[in-house]
């Protein structure tokens, strides 16, 4: 049997900085307004490698991968994940779900609550409640006012998807600049290489067969009403983006979709994929109140930027209240003390030094590592030739070295040995 190997080749872009999009929000507390990150382009990315990158604070936007420089950036972005196996919806989430189901099954309009529903007992689990109004889950003979369908499909471009996205951007973000090609770059193109999910036995037909990028399509009587853009990876479902039509503002689709995504992770787990356990919801930005909604689901955990261990969200709150940059594993490394609602970063010596500390990074990393980090030296006729960084012609060229070293630092030693860099 031939075992296919998926090689990940990253094209590091080096450290970068940009004007922060969160500081402009009212209620923010940083005055620095500059966001720092390390990024990389990638055309082919293995799902297990991306899973490990998420656990090091990385995230993708189309075919670009980036990791915030948490110590320097004005609004630190903590990776947040929700435990799908122990998640239980709050009373208000259950209400939203019940309201949507009554709308689909009975045609009851928003806000209406019939007397007979008030006394109903809740279904056995929220997974059952979630599927209760879906056409393919209805018991034979059950009538439904509308036909509600949720399906997973590969991430491809259609005019129908683009027009829903375009209307959403205009309405919710007051943004009219998007085009079919910017939509494609952001939400259709994906470097993730599909790879079979190894279920121990045949899974239910609505579950995905492969890891990779998907569009979760919500249809009512055939009309596309919402799309969830998600990645399905070895240990998690990762939310990328979500859009819905204007008619459905009343339904709180953002919350319904979060429940549907957490349920998907749980159902894959229950179909026998032991390691599938979480919904990754992207970044949690404590310094921007508008972005704290991701913490409304429980139990949630934030990734520690020093140790890369996960700690419960509640445990973070006291430290995030007092420091711009916080670590629970190493509290003494927290910095940017908050006084009068503003982060005081005068103590950090490199505040105005925006150059990458190459010498320091080279000293911190073991020298033998550069015999193991592989670089693309040339490529032709579909063949790729690699060489260890230490023997690479451009290794002593500062510009190239900065790209490689900053990337290795951001990936961590183990992950850096598992991929190939093409600076
Ligand atoms: Zn900011």
Amino acid 22: pLDDT:
82
Q: How remote is the CA of residue 325 from the centroid of ligand 1, in Å?
A: 12
The answer to whether residues 37 and 75 touch, using CB atoms and an 8 Å cutoff, is no
Query: Tokens 């049997």, residue?
Result: 1
| DSSP H or E run through 253 | helix 253-270
Q: Which of 77, 63, 56, 68 is nearest to 15 (CA)?
A: 68
Q: How remote is the CA of residue 169 from the centroid of ligand 1, in Å?
A: 22
What is the pLDDT of the chain when averaged over all its residues?
90
Q: Which of 396, 404, 394 is nearest to 372 (CA)?
A: 404
Sign of CA dihedral 96, 100, 102, 103: positive
Q: How remote is the CA of residue 20 from the centroid of ligand 1, in Å?
A: 5
Amino acid 23: pLDDT:
77
Residues in the chain where the model's pLDDT stays below 50: 115-119, 347, 349-351
d(CA 101, CA 112): 12
Q: How remote is the CA of residue 160 from the centroid of ligand 1, in Å?
A: 35
8-state DSSP, 89: -
pLDDT in tens, 374-408: 999 998 888 889 999 999 999 999 899 999 999 99
Q: How remote is the CA of residue 339 from the centroid of ligand 1, in Å?
A: 17
Q: How remote is the CA of residue 54 from the centroid of ligand 1, in Å?
A: 21
Q: How remote is the CA of residue 29 from the centroid of ligand 1, in Å?
A: 8
Amino acid 125: pLDDT:
86
Residue 219 main-chain phi, psi, to 5 deg = -125, 140
Q: How remote is the CA of residue 33 from the centroid of ligand 1, in Å?
A: 5
Q: How remote is the CA of residue 57 from the centroid of ligand 1, in Å?
A: 17
Q: How remote is the CA of residue 201 from the centroid of ligand 1, in Å?
A: 47
Q: How remote is the CA of residue 281 from the centroid of ligand 1, in Å?
A: 19
- Cis amide linkage into residue 316, ω under 30° from 0: no
């Amino acid at each position: 049997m031939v075992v296919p190997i998926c090689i990940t080749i990253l094209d590091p872009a080096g450290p970068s900085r940009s004007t922060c999009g969160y500081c402009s929000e009212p209620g923010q507390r940083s005055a620095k307004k500059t966001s720092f990150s390390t990024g990389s382009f990638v055309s082919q990315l293995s799902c297990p490698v991306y899973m490990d990158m998420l656990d090091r604070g990385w995230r993708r936007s189309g075919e670009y991968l980036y990791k915030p420089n948490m110590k320097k950036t004005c609004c630190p972005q903590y990776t947040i994940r929700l435990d799908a196996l122990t998640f239980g919806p709050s009373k208000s989430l259950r209400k939203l779900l019940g309201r949507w189901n009554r709308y689909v099954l009975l045609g009851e309009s928003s806000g209406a609550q019939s007397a007979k529903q008030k006394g109903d007992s809740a279904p056995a689990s929220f997974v059952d409640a979630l599927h209760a109004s879906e056409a393919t889950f209805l018991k034979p003979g059950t009538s439904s006012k509308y036909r509600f369908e949720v399906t997973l499909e590969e991430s491809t471009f259609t005019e129908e998807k683009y027009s829903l996205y375009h209307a959403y951007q205009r309405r919710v973000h007051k943004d009219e600049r998007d085009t079919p090609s910017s939509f494609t770059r952001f939400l259709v193109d994906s470097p993730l290489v599909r790879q079979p999910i190894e279920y121990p036995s045949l899974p239910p037909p609505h579950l995905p067969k492969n890891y990779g990028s998907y569009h979760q399509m919500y249809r009512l009587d055939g009309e596309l009403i919402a799309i969830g853009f998600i990645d399905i990876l070895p240990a998690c479902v990762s939310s990328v983006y979500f859009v819905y039509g204007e008619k459905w503002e009343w339904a709180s689709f953002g919350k319904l979709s979060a429940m549907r995504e957490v349920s998907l992770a749980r159902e894959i787990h229950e179909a026998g994929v032991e390691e599938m356990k979480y919904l990754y919801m992207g970044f949690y930005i404590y310094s921007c109140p508008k972005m704290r909604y991701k913490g409304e689901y429980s139990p949630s955990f934030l990734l520690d930027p020093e140790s890369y261990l996960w700690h419960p969200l509640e445990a973070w709150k006291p430290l995030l209240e007092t420091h711009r940059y916080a670590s629970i594993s190493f509290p003494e490394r927290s910095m940017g003390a908050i006084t009068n609602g503003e982060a005081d970063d005068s103590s950090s010596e490199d505040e105005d030094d925006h150059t990458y500390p190459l010498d320091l990074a080279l000293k911190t990393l073991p020298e033998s590592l550069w015999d193991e980090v592989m670089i693309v030296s040339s490529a032709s006729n579909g063949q790729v030739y690699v060489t260890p960084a230490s023997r690479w012609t451009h290794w002593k060229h500062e510009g190239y070295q900065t790209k490689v070293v900053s990337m290795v630092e951001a990936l961590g030693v183990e992950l850096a040995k598992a991929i190939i860099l093409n600076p």
